[in-house]
Chains A and B, each alone.
Chain A
Amino acid sequence: QKEVEQDPGPLSVPEGAIVSLNCTYSNSAFQYFMWYRQYSRKGPELLMYTYSSGNKEDGRFTAQVDKSSKYISLFIRDSQPSDSATYLCAIDTGRRALTFGSGTRLQVQP
């Protein structure tokens, strides 16, 4: 079983929709979770960083960790065409490098 799994999409939504992006992970001991956004022809940029379980909110973005289900989510409210990108979850699995999901491509239609 992969340590981190992510639905590759693509996901297409109309402007203004609520978007839910998800990852599952294999080990309940993992504690640090991140979301990156990657625009086309650019490197990933850090969007959200959460520790342990619960929610973290930043503007239109909410990161949620459910440790009992080993499930992490990123919600985008009032989605905009500028949110069109690939979103990658990343988890600190105990080695120095992060372990990344394969990324979900999101398209927000105007």
Chain B
Amino acid sequence: DVKVTQSSRYLVKRTGEKVFLECVQDMDHENMFWYRQDPGLGLRLIYFSYDVKMKEKGDIPEGYSVSREKKERFSLILESASTNQTSMYLCASSFVEGAQPQHFGDGTRLSIL
């Protein structure tokens, strides 16, 4: 079974802090994704990566950056956390060929105070 592991289930940070969310997958997937999920808005894509050191902006990249130094690990960085970044953050991974389903971690519920 594919396993996507997010380092924290719950996280509380203060405005202005730099926040790191970590994600690791064990299936040698090329693609990795970061989404945020908010009530009524569904899943919105923040960034994705299709190879080590490669990244592409998703639909809502403002205020975020990402890092992919190793194939299995994809990090989301909130450069200066703000209260409107309080959300559920979901990481996913997939193979690159064709239309592949994505496999998700269990999410990090982030609160910015």
Q: Do A and B bind each other?
A: yes
A contact set with B: CB distance below 8 Å = 6, 8, 31-32, 34, 36, 41-46, 49, 88, 90, 92, 96-98, 100-103
Given A97-B58, A100-B42, A102-B41, verify A43-B105 contact (CB < 8 Å). Answer: yes
Given A34-B101, A49-B101, verify A42-B42 contact (CB < 8 Å). Answer: no
Asked if A31 contacts B99 (CB within 8 A), the reply is yes
For the complex, what is the distance from the CA of A5 to the CA of B99, rounded to whole Å?
Answer: 20
Asked if B42 contacts A101 (CB within 8 A), the reply is yes
Chain B residues whose CB sits within 8 angstroms of the CB of A45 once the complex forms: 104
Q: How many residues of B contact A (CB 8 A)?
A: 24
Q: Convert B31-42 into 0s and 1s, putting 1 for each residue whose CB lies closer than 8 angstroms to a CB of A.
A: 101000000111
Chain B residues whose CB sits within 8 angstroms of the CB of A92 once the complex forms: 99
Q: Is B103 an interface residue (CB 8 A)?
A: yes
Chain A residues whose CB sits within 8 angstroms of the CB of B106 once the complex forms: 41-43
Main secondary structure of the interface of A (DSSP, over half): loop
Chain A residues whose CB sits within 8 angstroms of the CB of B101 once the complex forms: 34, 46, 49, 90, 98
**A-binding segment of B11-19, B43-51, B72-80:** B43-51
Given A43-B106, A44-B90, A44-B104, verify A97-B48 contact (CB < 8 Å). Answer: yes
Chain B residues whose CB sits within 8 angstroms of the CB of A96 once the complex forms: 31, 48, 50, 56, 96
Chain B residues whose CB sits within 8 angstroms of the CB of A97 once the complex forms: 31, 33, 45, 48, 58, 102
